[in-house]
Amino acid sequence: MSYSKEELAAYRIERSKESLEEAKILASTNHWNTVDNRLYYSCFYIASAYLVVNNFEASTHNGIKTGFNKALISSGKLEKAYGQLYNNLFNIRQEADYRDFKDVKEEKIKPMISQVEEMVKTIESLIQ
| pLDDT at residue 1, rounded to an integer | 72
Position 95 confidence tier, pLDDT thresholds 50, 70, 90: confident
Task: Give the mean model confidence (pLDDT) for residues 38-48.
Answer: 97
pLDDT above 70: percentage of residues in the chain: 100
| pLDDT at residue 103, rounded to an integer | 83
- How far is the CA of 49 from the CAs of 25, 30, 121, in angstroms? 23, 29, 12
Q: How many distinct structural domains can be found in the chain?
A: 1
Cβ atoms of 124 and 46 closer than 8 Å: yes
Domain carrying residue 19: 5-127
Give me the CATH number covering residue 122: 1.20.120.330
Position 61 confidence tier, pLDDT thresholds 50, 70, 90: very high
Position 23 confidence tier, pLDDT thresholds 50, 70, 90: very high
Q: Within the chain, how many helices (H) and strands (E) appear?
A: 5, 0
Q: What is the pTM of this model?
A: 0.93
Q: How far apart are CA 121 and CA 127, in angstroms?
A: 10
* 86 half-sphere exposure, CB direction, 13 A CA radius: 29
Calculate helix-pair angle for 61-68, 32-53, nearest 10 degrees.
70
